[in-house]
Amino acid sequence: MTDVTAPRASFTDMAESTSDDWAIIMGQRIELEQSLPDRVIEQFDHLRNDYGGFPVDRLDHSVQTATRAEREGRDDEYVLCALLHDIGDPLTPYNHPDVAAAILKPFVSEANRWMVEHHGIFQGYYFWHHLGMDRDVRERFAGHEHYDHCATFCSEYDAPAFDPGYDSNPFEHYLPLIREVFGTNPWR
């Protein structure tokens, strides 16, 4: 938590800000950046015990997706994307892939960001027809360079990750990866 007694910038309109103002702001931004891994980890608490009718809770689903990807030999970046792909579901159930992709964007490749951003549409292939919707909506992306990357993510890792009997890694197994990736400033 930020110290409310810490110095503050003096402007009321950013157009009137000064170098001194930005020295104050950037000096305090370090705390914000350093606490990012803890804030990401904290978001997983919102997935715990949230079943939404599924056979496993959202946290188990996320960990199971990451575990499946890791056991298949996917690299750490891909595994991180698998772990975070549904992190926005409790906050934005209508566009949760966008939230996860936005969180990951500065830290991952374009292919993996695109995969996370579009996984909801690609995952729809497995169930939208049961809801009277078009399961083939993902075909509007046919020919896209990352189409197969996303389709594979859904078929191999996301779609089968609802098995209550699957022996997933514990969530804590992924804490070092979260801390490593989100503890790095991607702009420096």
Q: Is residue 21 part of a domain?
A: no
In this predicted model, which residue has the larger pLDDT, 179 or 3? 179
Across 135-146, b (16+ Cβ under 10 Å) vs e yields eeebeebeeeeb
Which domain does 122 fall in, by range? Answer: 40-182
In this prediction, residue 29 carries a pLDDT of 87
Mean pLDDT of the region 144-169: 98
For 153, the token pair is: 């993510």
Q: Is residue 17 part of a domain?
A: no
Q: Is residue 77 part of a domain?
A: yes
Alpha helices of 57-185 — where are they, by DSSP H? 58-71, 76-84, 96-104, 110-123, 147-152, 175-182
What are the tens digits of pLDDT across the range 43-88? 999 999 999 999 999 999 999 999 999 999 999 999 999 999 999 9
Q: Is residue 25 part of a domain?
A: no
Q: Is residue 55 part of a domain?
A: yes
Among the listed ranges 57-61, 88-92, 154-158, which one has the minimum average pLDDT value? 88-92
CA 89, 105, 141, 62 torsion-angle sign: negative
In this prediction, residue 115 carries a pLDDT of 98
Q: Is residue 142 part of a domain?
A: yes
Q: Would you tell me how many other CB atoms lie within 10 Å of the CB of residue 23?
A: 12
Tally of structural domains, the chain: 1
Residue 92's domain is classified under what CATH number?
A: 1.10.3210.10
Q: 153 pLDDT band (50/70/90 cuts)?
A: very high
Q: Is residue 49 part of a domain?
A: yes
Q: 1 pLDDT band (50/70/90 cuts)?
A: low
